[in-house]
Structure 1
Amino acid sequence: MPRRRIHPPTPRPRGLSLVELMVGLLVGLVVSLVIYQVLAGNEGLRRSTSAGSDAQQNGMFSLAIVAHDLRAAGWGLPTADTMVCARYFTYRDDGSTRGPVPDFPGAAPVRIVDGGSAPGASDRITMMWGSSVRASVADGLLQNVTAVPNGTAARLQPASKVALSTVGGFVWLTDDKNDCALVRITASAPSPLSPDTVILSHDPVAASAGLANYNPPDEAMGELAWPSTFDANPRIHDVGALVLRTYSVDNGNLMARDDFSSGTQVQVANNVVALKAQYGISDAGSQIVNQWVSATLGPAGNWATPSLVDLRRVKAIRLAVVIRSAIKERPDAATGQCAVTSVAPVSWPDGPAIDLSNDPDWRCYRYRSFETVVPLRNVLWANLA
């Protein structure tokens, strides 16, 4: 009888034991944690690098655009020597408010308004320039001028052969009484009394937000105490198109306003937390800056409202803008407090202090200060010593 072959028993299939599963899960969790920490570190580095790059671009752009306008200040304007003014009269009506032109600097091509040292305070800086190459030429008039801009007596008839500002440009109206009124030309016609010259009109126009009126009507002239006549050697200075631009910081933004244009504030750059400026002044009769002063009333003099003599000593502007990173950094995990910034940024050594404590989270941001000195070259060229 044949023998039966006996096969060994087939092993039964086995899965992972509970211990093996738990070890695998633990290893996976450790690997995931390591990967997360690496990614979180790289993301934090990327955020900081990106924020630093954005802050640098904002700072360089903000400083460059303000410095550019400062270099233009004073161009196309009569110097204080050629147009002596004891009082300045200006007017602006944008359809909703009317009165003197805001922040008008008078004889100064640049005027700083000191913001003080309160938390979050910034300075305000205004600069003005024109487009005429003949601004310092005093053009005499054929007639005494009635300042009220309604009627024939308000027309400006130059006595010399001059090509004056086109319609829409500005002229200063003045005389030996040293009252100076800024008016805008609304019409130009050939003069029958003096060949090759023109008769200029400065009538009020309908005001709106898009087109302001700079010539006061009769009632406004009374309210603002404008001079009624210019009858002591009346003359005009042609300044052409005028720019009066004011830079300030508002809610973390660098803002600009042009009061001879729309008159509305526009954002120039964001994450700007401070704007600080000082005058660079020389001794009388000199062009060399030997002192920096804030626009305040203090031991150095009254630079909040400087006199004409002191204005001639201003030769340069020192300017600083402080930029904040756009991204708020996370607080320290152990203390719950932000430690990214512990000391407030500075404008420049021995410069105006910067206090950011109006924002309780100011330490959670990174800051950079950008500073420059801008010589007022148009003042220097005019040799206003």
Structure 2
Amino acid sequence: MSPTVQTSCRANAGFSLVEIMVGLLISMLAIIVVLQVFSVFESRKRTLSNGSDALTNNALAFQQMQRDISQAGYGFSAASVFYCNVSWTVASGSSITTPVRLAPVTINPGTAIIPAGDANTDTMLVMYGNNNGQPQGNPITTRTSAIYTVQMPTAFAVGDKVIAAPAACGSTTLLIDEITAVETNTVTVATGSAGTALYNLGPAPVILAYAIRGGNLTVCNYLQNDCGIAANKDKEAVWAPVASNIISLKAVYWRDTALPDMDGIPDSNGHDRAAPASGCDWVRVSAIGMALVARSGAYDKSVVTATSRNAPATINAPTWTENATAPLIGATGSLGPDQAADEPWKHYRYKVLESVVPIRNVAWMGAVQGC
């Protein structure tokens, strides 16, 4: 029996300490390999998702701005009212502090109208109506106080916002008024002012101010709030975020520069940032060149953007020039000097979208006589 007992004891002895240590070492090596593979996989996944997030943010914001710009000028497409000063009452019941130029799209209209955004970024004011009336205005036959006799009163409805404009506005500030009654031959407005034509902006016109603030694209509804008040620029209830990590906005006017008479076609060398100075100058602006830069939301451990990108002075092609000394990308619109090899801004990925957006309601005017 003794040999049998000895054999059974050896069979139940299990692994030796050396065998256990070798097994643990192999398991640890396997875990390390798996973790390394997982780390590489997550890094690549994060890289792809960050770039995708930046592109998505940029695309959504760009699409919204394109839609607004393409509709700009609807309801008042006439050289006689472009460049006129206009004022209105915001939702709180007070008039805006600074009258603005009546124009489809205004780039950098001035800090009294749109407080400056992040460094090295542009601001933009977009205006259009939503009526079904005459874009050239409805002729006013007579006016008695706030009652207008017009050519086509059926083109108006109670609640529509209108502008009574003279043949030449000069220094006169026009008023966005509201229709309170429509009769057989007349329309009645809340206030009333002199004019030769009544422009119908519809019941819900759009006046939007765009600016980059704190690395986000923000928009202010100028009919709801006075966007020109500097104290309001950091209030989210006034300047609502459209998309996060949109850190640069640049825009230029595309003009029909044919002289002396316009031909209704934007010219290849007609892109610049100079503000139009008359109604005819505004009529010549039939498109807006625009570029947006989005930044990925996550900080990457490695340097993923080695060279900063700077907006070109004129946006005339889908390209983005490289410039290491005057970069525009960053959390507040400016990266700062490109001196160190490992600066924080280099650890983010960026996406750029750029396009020339036609202002349809201006382009459809074609060549305007006298301009």
Normalising by the residue count of structure 2, what TM-score does the alignment of the two structures yield?
Answer: 0.75
Counterpart position of 1:243: 206
Listed as ranges, the matches of 1:227-242 within 5 Å are 230=194, 234-241=196-203, 242=205
Q: How many residues align?
A: 323
5+ residue gaps, structure 1: 146-152, 191-195, 204-214, 216-228, 296-302, 331-337
Q: Find out whether 1:10 has 2:3 as its counterpart.
A: no
**Percent identity between the aligned chains?**
25
Q: Find out whether 1:311 has 2:306 as its counterpart.
A: no
TM-aligned CA deviation for residue 308 of structure 1: 3.3
In structure 2, relative to structure 1, the CA distance for the partners of 1:200 and 1:135 (3 Å cut) is farther
- The answer to whether the Cα contact below 8 Å between 1:252 and 1:270 also exists between their aligned partners in 2 is yes
Deviations 1:124-182 (A, max 9, x none): 12221113331313422423x6xxxxxxx3x1221545324322222222335623512
5+ residue gaps, structure 2: 111-115, 227-237, 312-318, 336-342
The structure with the larger Rg is: 1
Deviations 1:306-325 (A, max 9, x none): 34343232221111111111
- The answer to whether the Cα contact below 8 Å between 1:328 and 1:364 also exists between their aligned partners in 2 is yes
Separation (CA, whole Å) in 2 of partners of 1:7 and 1:351: 87
Counterpart position of 1:165: 156
CA RMSD in angstroms, aligned pairs only: 3.4
Counterpart position of 1:258: 221
Listed as ranges, the matches of 1:1-385 within 5 Å are 7=3, 10-11=6-7, 12-13=9-10, 14-80=13-79, 83-84=80-81, 87-95=84-92, 98-100=95-97, 104-106=100-102, 108-113=103-108, 120-132=119-131, 133-143=133-143, 153=145, 155-176=146-167, 178=169, 179=172, 181-190=174-183, 196-203=184-191, 230=194, 234-241=196-203, 242-261=205-224, 264-284=238-258, 285-286=262-263, 287-291=265-269, 293-295=271-273, 303-304=274-275, 306-330=277-301, 338-347=302-311, 348-349=319-320, 354-357=327-330, 358=334, 361-383=344-366, 384=368
In structure 2, relative to structure 1, the CA distance for the partners of 1:19 and 1:351 (3 Å cut) is closer
Q: Which moved more, 1:117-126 or 1:248-257?
A: 117-126
Q: 3-state SS of the aligned residue for 1:372?
A: strand
- The answer to whether the Cα contact below 8 Å between 1:173 and 1:181 also exists between their aligned partners in 2 is yes
- The answer to whether the Cα contact below 8 Å between 1:281 and 1:289 also exists between their aligned partners in 2 is yes
Q: 3-state SS of the aligned residue for 1:99?
A: coil
Q: 3-state SS of the aligned residue for 2:355?
A: strand
Q: 3-state SS of the aligned residue for 1:142?
A: strand
Counterpart position of 1:209: none
Normalising by the residue count of structure 1, what TM-score does the alignment of the two structures yield?
Answer: 0.72
Separation (CA, whole Å) in 1 of partners of 2:63 and 2:118: 26
TM-aligned CA deviation for residue 37 of structure 1: 0.3
- The answer to whether the Cα contact below 8 Å between 1:134 and 1:239 also exists between their aligned partners in 2 is no
Separation (CA, whole Å) in 2 of partners of 1:245 and 1:181: 18
Separation (CA, whole Å) in 2 of partners of 1:258 and 1:69: 12
Q: 3-state SS of the aligned residue for 2:329?
A: coil
TM-aligned CA deviation for residue 376 of structure 1: 1.9
What is the identity, as a one-letter code, of the residue corresponding to 2:209?
T
Separation (CA, whole Å) in 2 of partners of 1:72 and 1:369: 23
Q: Which moved more, 1:252-261 or 1:313-322?
A: 252-261
